[in-house]
Amino acid sequence: MIAFPVRQRFFASGGVGQPPGIGYNSAAPLIRVVLRPLPIFVTLALGLGTTSRLRAQENLPEVAESSLEQRIDKAIEDYEALRKDKKNQPQRNRALLWLGEIDHERVSLYLEKELAKAADTPFAVIVLQAIAKVPRARLFDDCWNVMKRESAPMGVRNAAAEAVVKTGDRGIDKLIDLVRSGDNMITAATRDAALAALINSGGERAHRGLAPVLLAGSQEDRLKMLSRMDGIRGVPPVSLSRIKLVSEGDAAVAAMAWRQLASENHAKAKDLAIDVLERLPENPAPTIAADVILGLSMVKEADFYPVVLRLGSSTAAPVRNALRKAADHAANDPAFVQFLATKGLEDSKPAVRDAALLLLRAAPKEAVQPLLAKVRAALKNPKRKSLDLAIGLHDLLAKDPSWRADLQALAVSRDAEVRTVGISLLLELGADSALVQAQQSLGDKAWELRSIAYRYLTKFRDVASIPLLIARMEREEGRLAMELDQALFAHTGTRCWKRKEWESWWAEHKSGFTLPHPDSVRGGTGASGGGGTTVSYYDIPLVSSHVAFLIDHSGSMRAPIGTDKKYTRLDAAKEQLLRVVGALPKTTACNLIIYDNVVQQVWDALRPVDDSNRDELLARVQKITFGGGTNIFDALEKAFLDPTVDTIYLLTDGEPSAGRIVAPDDIVDEVKRWNRSRQIVIHCIGLGIDSGLLKQLAEQSGGSYRYVK
């Protein structure tokens, strides 16, 4: 019998096939038809047969189980087809991981067998990852045994511990017991795998269980545990352990524990700051200073602002990285921003001013106005200090649209360096307001100003620039001749090599001339264009006639390159340099700067490559031997101190490890700041290293980058 509510729902809109508006009564004939016995499939489709509906529901588990079995069969079949194909290991791995997503006893049994077959091979990691896709309590013992097996590689142990965590509370508790146990029979590798799995689990049960571990062992052990548990936030037992470590740990432990309390915005962080500061040595280690800087930037207490700047005046990489992170916290503290903009930037010590600049890099737009007023007043009579202030604060001041007017004032200055900075910063902002000033600077004595003028006009094209550029033909050499050629090509889409040829071409085409479409000339203005040169260094053309070669001879340059194991990176660098020096024309002036921990230059300044100097340089290249660390910053600084250098070739095989500044981001920022007035192009070669630092140095200076494997 059909229940009335079903009928009511069925005819709520006027009945099947009936136009809207036909009510229940008017549909009586249709009701009688519907109430007649119907074939079972129609009844099921309409949901009108109670008995049939119940039977269908009873069959659902059977149908679902059958479908699941088919899915398992297909997943296993796909995996089996790939397992023996060594060329398709990525596909095989994906197939097994897909199989692992199925939560079924049959899959668990299959994976158990695969784990036994994999033994200690790298493939065991994939099997364990498949096991961990869903909770598989029955495989707890298998995963536990792999984790503890001494023959298993660390990667396999880690994957096994992760799978144990996924088995549920029992697995987590067993891992906690293992980590907290003082059993000497448990190897360090097993304990480490268990610890990593518990930390990575993200679960509060696991993190609560680890809280006592923070208080165990030596100060070194506590520091390591704090570091590993750095990302755990808002777990009360862990916070309590950190509070104890502030009072019980040494300076390094106390600083890190307190910084972690500050990062989770713990109520006691501000009160405990004094305890930490009182225990700081006069010159704390950079890692300790970094923790304190970050912590103080989070607690937002005015009494601590001077301490942040004092500790931040170090050039050590951990401190500089801490200042960059602290900038985001400082931006949310208006009082701190004001302090930095006044006391910090006015400090007599350059290192303190640099720290203040770093902390201000994320300051909000509303903080710019006071800074802008300060810089604007200083620029009324631009001097070295005020120009450095404008250069250093440019990225922040650019948030205010009125800053462009100040840069425009610099661009019209009679002082070549001031004008260079103004045009350079306007070019960075993409502002075309200095077009006339760039055109007027083409004949200036300062090569830096002419260089930025050529590049500015290449970016902002104007027909009126063409005859002015043609007039400079045959008056430039080296790199500036190339930049002039690029500017003319960008304006005309044409290349001529003599001034008379250009004058004839312009006389013929100037009437009604329109600039070519930017897309049609874009490829002809690249940084590595050689202008016909036949000399290159690692396939980067040498177009400059005032070049410094910076060669890394650190210990890592012993590494072989290519197929010959006796042929080192340094051998390759020297071979390339010997070839280049031998081929350079006598009109080229160059210098060689070699660096490891220390920086040495062959001559005090660039010298022309005449026969005598060439021989001396070749002999010096031959004598280069392996050294120690990698002092990239000081090597660059040495090259920048020579006012005649316009191009640098920087070669290294490693990241910075020595020097006044070693943090890559700081090196990039400092070189960018220098180059806003110097305009030096830096070509970079990475031997055996695909370096982000080298890429940035090349890109921001208009140079080329080569990665040599």
* Residue 658: per-residue pLDDT: 93
Torsional class of 67: left (φ above 0), alpha (ψ -120 to 50), beta (otherwise): alpha
Alpha-carbon span 268 to 243, nearest angstrom: 8
Token pair belonging to 229: 């548990």
Structure tokens at 35: 């109430």
- Domain containing residue 477: 377-525
* Least confident stretch, 22-26, 237-241, 373-377, 449-453: 22-26
* Phi, psi for residue 527 in degrees, rounded to 5: -70, -25
Residue 36 in this model has a pLDDT that exceeds 70: no
Which region holds residue 300: left if phi is over 0, alpha if psi is between -120 and 50, else beta?
Answer: left
Whether the per-residue pLDDT at 103 is higher than 90: the answer is yes
Q: Terminal CA-to-CA distance of the chain, rounded, Å? A: 81
pLDDT at 28: 37
Task: Name 647's bridge partners.
Answer: 547, 681
User: Are the CB atoms for 333 and 300 separated by under 8 Å?
Assistant: yes
Does some domain include residue 688?
Answer: yes
Residue 609 has pLDDT above 80, yes or no: yes
Tell me the pLDDT tens digit for each residue of 371-418.
888 889 989 888 888 898 899 889 989 989 999 999 999 999 999 999
CATH number for the domain harbouring residue 566: 3.40.50.410
Nearest alpha carbon to residue 584 among 620, 623, 617, 542:
542
Pairing relationship of beta strands 607-608 and 599-601 according to DSSP bridges = unpaired
Of 201, 231, 253, the position where a domain reaches its end is 201
Average pLDDT on 317-334 reads 94
Note whether 52 and 152 are same-domain residues: yes
Out of 504, 525, 546, a domain closes at 525
Which pLDDT belongs to residue 291? 97
pLDDT in tens, 501-526: 999 999 999 999 999 999 999 876 55
Same domain for 521 and 543? no
DSSP assignments along 460-510, one per residue:
S--TTHHHHHHTTTTS--HHHHHHHHHHHHHHHS---SSHHHHHHHHHHH-
Angle at 654 between CA 155 and CA 625, to 5 degrees: 125
**Tell me, what amino acid is at 444?**
D
The CA-based dihedral angle spanning residues 539, 540, 541, 546, taken in that order and rounded to the nearest 10 degrees: -140
Q: Are residues 521 and 540 in the same domain?
A: no
- pLDDT band, very low/low/confident/very high, at 37 (cuts 50, 70, 90): very low
The set of residues, in sequence order, having a beta carbon less than 8 Å from that of 122 and lying 6+ positions away, is: 153, 155, 156
Q: What is the pLDDT at residue 42?
A: 35
Digit-coded pLDDT (tens) for 663-686: 899 999 999 999 999 999 999 999
Average pLDDT over residues 338-358: 91
Whether residue 517 is found in the same domain as residue 540: no
pLDDT value of position 349:
92
Q: Are residues 562 and 493 in the same domain?
A: no
Instruction: Fill in the DSSP letter of residue 18.
Output: P
Tell me, yes or no, whether 179 lies in a domain: yes
Q: Which two structure tokens, joined as six digits, stand for 266? A: 């713990």
Average pLDDT over residues 331-336: 94
- Indicate the pLDDT class of residue 23, thresholds 50, 70 and 90: very low
CA dist., res. 127 & res. 111, Å (int): 7
With respect to residue 13, please indicate whether it lies within any of the assigned structural domains: no
According to the 3-state scheme, what is the secondary structure of 60-106?
HHHHHHHHHHHHHHHHHHHHHHHHCCHHHHHHHHHHHHHHHCCCCHH
In the beta sheet, which residues pair with residue 549? 592, 649
Mean pLDDT score, 80-98: 88
CA 442/CA 427 separation, integer angstroms? 16
Backbone angles phi, psi at 483, to 5 degrees: -65, -35
Lowest mean pLDDT across 9-18, 352-361, 375-384, 593-602? 9-18
Indicate if the pLDDT at residue 32 is higher than 90.
no
Q: Which residues, including other chains, have CB under 8 Å from residue 546's CB and lie 6 or more apart? A: 478, 479, 588, 589, 590, 606, 644, 645, 646, 647
pLDDT for 485: 95
pLDDT the model gives residue 533: 59
For residue 273, which amino acid is it?
Answer: A
Return d(Cα 142, Cα 489) in angstroms, integer.
70
Does 8 or 611 have the greater pLDDT score? 611
Question: If pLDDT is split at 50, 70 and 90, which confidence band does 44 have?
Answer: very low
Burial of 666 per CB tally in 10 Å (0-12, 13-18, 19+): buried
Q: Tokens for 503?
A: 């004058």
Look at residue 14 in the predicted model and tell me its pLDDT: 37
- Asked which of 498, 525, 552 is the last residue of a domain, the reply is 525
424: which 2 tokens?
Answer: 């350079």
Q: Mean pLDDT for the chain?
A: 88
Amino acid in the structure at residue 46: L
CA distances from 447 to 316, 371, 470, 525, 677 (A): 35, 32, 17, 20, 11
Same domain, 606 and 518: no
Q: Are residues 518 and 540 in the same domain?
A: no
> Is the pLDDT reported for residue 51 higher than 60?
no
pLDDT of residue 62: 61
Indicate if 48 and 197 belong to the same structural domain: yes
Q: What is the H or E stretch that residue 311 is in?
A: helix 305-312
Taking residue 627's Cβ as centre, other Cβ atoms within 10 Å add up to 21
pLDDT at 2: 36
Given this model, what pLDDT does residue 565 score? 84
Say what the pLDDT of residue 526 is. Answer: 55
> Which residue carries 């200076």 as its tokens?
701
Structural domain count, the chain: 3
Contact 304, 262 (CB under 8 A): no
pLDDT score for 56 = 46
Q: Give the model's pLDDT for residue 61.
A: 58
Model confidence at 244: pLDDT above 50: yes
562 and 509 in a common domain:
no
pLDDT at 635 over 60: yes
Please check whether residues 690 and 591 belong to one and the same domain: yes
Please tell me whether residues 158 and 101 are part of one structural domain.
Answer: yes
Cβ atoms of 356 and 374 closer than 8 Å: no
| pLDDT score, position 183 | 77
Rounded Cα distance, 339 and 346, in Å: 10
Per the listing, tokens 């990239």 go with 632
Lookup result for tokens 């799978």 = 163
At 60, is the pLDDT very low, low, confident or very high (cuts 50, 70, 90)?
Answer: low
Residue 297: per-residue pLDDT:
97
CA distance 93 to 125: 10
Burial class (CB in 10 A: 0-12, 13-18, 19+), 8: exposed
Tens digit of pLDDT for each residue in 559-605?
A: 998 788 889 999 999 999 999 999 999 999 999 999 999 999 999 99
The pLDDT score that the predictor gives to residue 43 is: 37
Is the confidence at residue 65, as pLDDT, over 80?
Answer: no
pLDDT in tens, 255-306: 999 999 999 999 999 999 999 999 898 899 999 999 999 999 999 999 999 9
Q: Angle at CA 60, nearest 5°, toward 58 and 65?
A: 125
Is 16 among the domain residues?
no
**Mean pLDDT value of segment 22-30:** 35
Tokens of 109: 């049994």
Q: What average pLDDT does the segment 300-323 reach?
A: 94
The residue count of the chain comes to: 709
Q: Determine, yes or no, domain membership for 11.
A: no
Domain co-membership, 487 together with 597: no
The kind and range of the H/E element at 124 are: helix 123-131
Does residue 299 form part of some domain?
Answer: no
Considering the domain boundaries, does residue 140 fall inside one? Answer: yes
Tell me if 253 is assigned to some domain.
no
Contact between 543 and 529 (Cβ < 8 Å): yes
- For residue 628, give both structure tokens: 């120690």
Q: Is the pLDDT of residue 12 over 60?
A: no
pLDDT in tens, 109-153: 999 999 999 999 999 999 999 999 999 999 999 999 999 999 999
